[in-house]
């Protein structure tokens, strides 16, 4: 399916850890202005996909475009919310300090934040209903509060495209509802919000578009096209034993993974 | 004693420079070390400190000078090389990071010792005084050395102040920093460079073997006292400076003594002090908290016994010790502790040789019983546990549940009238 200036285009992306591929040939495009879920069971490579999209990992092959451009040209329009467990929350900082980190940019290196930055940070905190915790130490927050701090930090970046890794994990029902309401409002303002989510039960209800992922791309599209029992079975059913065994083999035997390497081998094989 | 007075009077200009110099070096190493501590890079710091030795030795062999800038150049190069190697080894091979660190440390340090030994045997060692780099000797620094190291320390501090907010983000969440488009690679390079430099100047007073202690221990000492990064760095700086003072005094009082071990002794003393006495995180604070918890549990259990007695004998108000102990087995000490606590807060009021609940005590007892029965309800309704399995769990939870959780339980369960054993759930008087 061709989309006009997709918010996100992932093209033939393969990624691996220690040479063991965990994403194979992922290829999809996502439209602007939608609430989109990247859905798949635990260990299916959702976090890895986000890391590759955000340039935190070097893919073995393939590329990523946002708004038809390279990430480096649209940095300020894109915001990333890492998985909550990816940081040590026992860090000496207050809630407000963390939210202000959303205002750290290349153009204010070793400068102090401006009054406008402080204003935006405070407003972002208000949007997630955490203003009363502004001075609280982050080591004293509950899981749901930590998630909201991370979301507020992302809001402070005032982006057009948001990529959030499991923002509903460790969150109570009331908070989940309020976060979802916030995300829906963001979509109404024309923002594109991409959420990594592992819970099938709620995925259909929450998102407009869904990317079903399990080591490879199972399906991507409007939710009604994607939520068919066949595709769900494919994503959540049996483990992809063949694929994971090949992955093990590649890691063990040190097979080359980069595309250029593959081409060389092909040439030799044919000749 | 005379020595100490003489030392503290700072009349000897040489003593003055050495002292202020080492204090300053200690301060800058511990300030920069705070980031290494928060980024969980303590082991890397240790490896880099050891890896500096061959750089210093080679710089001396090549240029035949003790000029501090030349030696620091050598130190910087080999420290950097070690850091890159550690990173590369754990990425490119299947070695675990700690193995890579250990490997680099021992290889570099081994080479360093080898070179140092050969320098000393060539006869140049004594005049070079290179052995001081092993365990540190504050007093052997010349005035010029100190000026040079002081300048570097100043540059480090200024760099930390300039990049403070970026280093903070880098230490807390490097992925986010990179995703925000900050030049993470360059920032990491700067942070690593000032860390290597801090180590290079710190070894003047501590020596390479114990340098990691000067880098990391002050931060670890400071951490439990504050939740603010700035305060933590200042406290770490004070701890580092203080031990620098001790080191230079030792150097002055016992010229043959290496200063490193004494500096580390002082640091360890401060760290132990912090470990025991720090608010909330310290050992003593924890013990106190545990004792408070125990007393809370005991008193609430005693209150509950009063409530149960009254539940069964609605017309009696005061009960004797015997009746209580029949209801629930308290040991002599437990009973006394709980009673003393409840009496002091006027939950219990004496009536002859008996005790009765005050109005306030009755409400508090109701609260504990309510939490117990609510939790039993929750366990049977939501977790589908059998009614005969839930009591022990509720015995603990009744002391832990906060008012917010109580509120939520009440809402979720719809303000039930009775618990799974059909005992009424008591609600507060409105
Ligand atoms: N740093 C890592 N090193 C090696 N393997 C990893 C690493 N991170 C994740 N993996 C592996 O990659 C696979 C995908 O992980 P991840 O992307 O975190 O999945 P998800 O986010 O969908 O739960 C898993 O099998 C996991 O074990
Ligand atoms: Mg994940």
- Residue tagged 């990317």 (tokens): A211
Return the domain boundaries, chain B. Answer: 17-211, 285-357, 362-413
* Cα-to-centroid distance, A52 and ligand 2 (Å): 13
Dmax over Cα atoms in chain B, in whole Å? 100
Task: Ligand 1, residue A40: give the atom nearest the CA.
Answer: 22
Q: Which residue has the higher pLDDT, B219 or A261?
A: B219
B378 or A180, higher pLDDT: A180
Domains and their CATH numbers in chain A: 8-265 (3.40.50.300)
pLDDT of residue B106: 94
A123, burial (CB in 10 Å: exposed 0-12, middle 13-18, buried 19+): middle
Strand order in the sheet with B348-351: B318-319, B354-357, B348-351
Cα–ligand 1 centroid distance for A45 (angstroms): 6
Residue B232 contacts A, CB cutoff 8 Å: yes
Residues A204 and A224: their CA atoms lie apart, in Å, by 8
* Residue range B48-79, pLDDT digits in tens: 999 999 999 999 889 988 888 898 899 999 99
Share of chain A above pLDDT 90, in %: 70
A229: closest CA of chain B, how far (Å):
30
| B285-357 and B362-413 share one fold | no
Q: Which residues of B touch A78 (CB under 8 A)?
A: 179
CATH architecture of B362-413: Orthogonal Bundle (1.10)
Contact A148, A96 (CB under 8 A): no
Residue B4 burial class via C-beta count within 10 angstroms: exposed 0-12, middle 13-18, buried 19 and up: exposed
Is A3 at the interface with chain B, CB within 8 A? no
SS3 A146: helix
- More confident: B348 or A242: B348
Distance from CA of A270 to the nearest CA of B (A): 31
Query: Relative to the CA of A44, which ligand 1 atom is closest?
Result: 22
Which superfamily does CATH assign the domain made up of B17-211 to? ABC transporter involved in vitamin B12 uptake, BtuC (1.10.3470.10)
Burial of B393 (0-12, 13-18, 19+ CB in 10 A): middle
Residue with tokens 């290494």: B36
Residue A134 confidence class, pLDDT cut points 50, 70, 90: very high
Q: Is the pLDDT of residue A240 over 80?
A: no
Tell me, what's the pLDDT at A86? 94
The SS3 assignment for A209 reads strand
Distance between CA A161 and CA A187 in Å, rounded? 10
Instruction: Say yes or no to pLDDT of A269 above 60.
Output: no
For residue A50, give how far its alpha carbon lies from the nearest alpha carbon of chain B (Å): 11
Q: What is the pLDDT of residue A264?
A: 38
Count of Cβ atoms closer than 10 Å to residue B223 Cβ: 20
Cα distance between residue A244 and residue A231, in whole Å: 19
Residue B13 has which token pair? 């200009």
Q: Which of A66, A87, A92 to mutate to test the interface with B (most CBs of B within 10 A)?
A: A92
> What is the distance, to the nearest Å, from the Cα of residue A66 to the centroid of all Cα atoms in its chain?
13
CATH number for the region B285-357 comes to 1.10.10
Q: Which residues of B touch A93 (CB under 8 A)?
A: 168, 172, 227-229
Asked if B189 reaches chain A (Cβ–Cβ under 8 Å), the answer is: no
Q: B298 by DSSP, 3-state: which?
A: helix
- Ligand 1: which of A45, A195, A241 to mutate, judged by most atoms within 8 Å of the beta carbon? A45
Residue A35: pLDDT band by 50, 70, 90 thresholds? very high
- For residue B162, which of A110, A4, A205, A233 has the smallest C-alpha distance? A110
Percentage helix, strand, coil, to 5, in chain A? Answer: 45, 25, 30
Please report the pLDDT score of residue A268 as a whole number.
40
Q: Under a CB-based contact definition with an 8 Å cutoff, are residues B232 and B34 in contact?
A: yes
Q: Ligand 2 centre and the CA of A121: distance in Å?
A: 27
Ligand 1 proximity of A48 Cβ (cutoff 6 Å) = yes
B172 to A98: CB separation less than 8 angstroms, yes or no: yes
Most confident stretch, A177-181, A240-244, B316-320: A177-181
A107 at B interface, C-beta within 8 A: no
CB atoms A109 and B163 under 8 Å = yes
User: And the tokens for B272?
Assistant: 């132990």
Q: Indicate the Cα dihedral angle B211, B213, B219, B224, nearest 10°.
A: 180
CB B357 within 8 A of CB B365: yes
Show which of residues 125-184 on chain A sit within 8 Å of chain B, judged by CB atoms. Answer: 137, 139, 153, 157
**Which amino acid residue places its CA nearest to atom 1 of ligand 1?**
A17
Q: Which of A8, A48, A6 is nearest to A24 (CA)?
A: A48
Is there an atom of ligand 1 within 6 Å of A59 CB? no
Token code pair at residue B418: 């009775």
Split chain B (430 residues) into runs of 10 and give each run's mean pLDDT: 74 79 89 95 91 92 87 92 91 85 94 89 63 79 84 92 96 96 94 92 86 93 94 95 87 81 91 89 87 90 90 84 86 89 91 88 92 89 80 84 83 87 85
The pLDDT assigned to A254 comes to 57
Q: Nearest 5 degrees, angle CA B143-CA B149-CA B153?
A: 140
pLDDT attached to residue A163: 97
Q: Is the model's pLDDT at A205 over the cut of 50?
A: yes
Q: What is the pLDDT of residue B20?
A: 85
Q: How far apart are CA B140 and CA B142, in angstroms?
A: 6
Counting residues of chain A whose pLDDT is more than 70, the rounded percentage is 87
Instruction: List Cα–Cα distances, B419 to B83, B297, B368, B370, in angstroms.
Output: 63, 21, 14, 9
Ligand 1 centroid, distance to A224 Cα (angstroms)? 28
ipTM value for the complex: 0.88
Residue A252 in contact with partner chain B when CB distance is under 8 A: no
**Mean confidence (pLDDT) of chain A:** 87
B281 compared with A259, residue with greater pLDDT:
B281
């Amino acid at each position: 399916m061709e989309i006009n200036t997709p918010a996100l285009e992932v093209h033939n992306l393969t990624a691996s850890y220690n040479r063991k591929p965990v994403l194979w040939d992922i290829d999809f495009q996502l439209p602007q202005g939608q609430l989109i879920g990247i859905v798949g069971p635990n260990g299916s490579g959702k976090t890895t996909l986000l890391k590759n999209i955000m340039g935190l990992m070097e893919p073995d092959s393939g590329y990523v475009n946002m708004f038809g451009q390279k990430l480096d040209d649209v940095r300020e329009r894109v915001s990333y919310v890492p998985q909550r467990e990816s940081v040590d929350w026992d860090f000496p900082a207050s809630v407000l300090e963390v939210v202000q980190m959303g205002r750290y940019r290349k153009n204010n290196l070793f400068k102090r934040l401006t009054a406008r930055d402080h204003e935006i940070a405070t407003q972002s905190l208000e949007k997630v209903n955490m203003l009363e915790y502004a001075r609280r130490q982050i080591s004293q927050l509950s899981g749901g509060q930590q998630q909201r701090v991370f979301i507020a930090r992302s809001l402070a970046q005032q982006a057009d495209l948001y990529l959030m890794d499991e923002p509903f994990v460790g969150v109570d029902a009331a908070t989940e509802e309020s976060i979802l309401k916030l995300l829906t409002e963001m979509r109404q303002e024309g923002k594109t919000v991409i959420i990594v989510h592992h819970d099938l039960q709620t995925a259909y209800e929450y998102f407009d578009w869904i990317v079903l992922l399990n080591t490879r791309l199972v399906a991507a599209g409007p939710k009604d096209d994607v939520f068919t029992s066949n595709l769900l079975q494919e994503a959540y059913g049996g483990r992809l034993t063949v694929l994971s065994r090949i992955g093990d083999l590649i890691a063990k035997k040190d097979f080359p993974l980069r595309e250029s390497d593959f081409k060389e081998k092909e040439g030799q094989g044919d000749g | 004693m005379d020595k100490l007075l003489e030392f503290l009077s700072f009349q000897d200009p040489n003593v003055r420079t050495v002292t202020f110099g080492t204090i300053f070096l200690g301060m800058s190493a511990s300030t920069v070390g705070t980031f290494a501590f928060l980024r969980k890079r303590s082991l890397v710091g240790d490896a880099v400190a050891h890896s500096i030795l061959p750089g210093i030795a080679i710089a001396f062999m090549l240029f035949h000078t003790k000029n501090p800038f030349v030696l620091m150049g050598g130190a910087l190069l080999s420290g950097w090389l070690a850091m890159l190697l550690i990173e590369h080894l754990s990425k490119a091979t299947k070695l675990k990071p700690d193995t890579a660190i250990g490997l680099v440390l021992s290889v570099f340090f081994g080479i360093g010792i080898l070179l140092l030994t050969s320098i000393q045997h060539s006869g140049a060692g004594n005049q070079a005084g290179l052995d001081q780099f092993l365990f540190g000797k504050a007093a052997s620094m010349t005035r010029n050395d100190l000026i040079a190291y002081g300048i570097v320390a100043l540059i480090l501090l200024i760099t930390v102040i300039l990049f403070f907010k970026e280093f903070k983000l880098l230490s807390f969440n490097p992925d986010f920093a990179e995703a925000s488009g900050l030049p993470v690679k360059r920032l990491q390079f700067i942070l690593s460079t000032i860390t290597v430099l801090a180590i290079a100047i710190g070894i003047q007073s501590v020596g390479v073997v114990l340098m990691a202690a000067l880098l990391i221990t002050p931060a670890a000492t400071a951490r439990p006292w504050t939740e603010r990064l700035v305060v933590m760095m200042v406290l770490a700086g004070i701890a580092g400076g203080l031990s620098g003072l001790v080191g230079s005094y030792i150097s002055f009082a016992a010229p043959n003594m290496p200063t490193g071990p004494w500096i580390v002794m002082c640091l360890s003393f401060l760290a132990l002090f912090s470990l025991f006495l720090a608010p909330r995180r310290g050992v003593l604070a924890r013990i106190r908290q545990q004792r408070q918890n125990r007393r809370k549990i005991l008193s609430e259990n005693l209150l509950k016994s009063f409530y149960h007695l009254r539940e069964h004998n609605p017309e009696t108000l005061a009960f004797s010790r015997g009746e209580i102990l029949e209801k629930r087995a308290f040991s002599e000490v437990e009973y006394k502790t709980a009673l003393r606590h409840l009496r002091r807060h006027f939950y219990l009021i004496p009536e002859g040789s008996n005790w009765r609940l005050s109005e306030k005590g009755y409400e508090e007892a109701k609260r504990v019983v309510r939490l117990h029965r609510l939790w039993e309800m929750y366990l049977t309704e939501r977790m589908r546990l059998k009614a005969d399995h839930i009591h022990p769990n509720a015995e603990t939870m009744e002391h832990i549940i906060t008012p917010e959780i109580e509120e939520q339980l009440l809402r979720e369960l719809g303000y039930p009238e009775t618990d799974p054993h059909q005992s009424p759930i008591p609600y507060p008087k409105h």
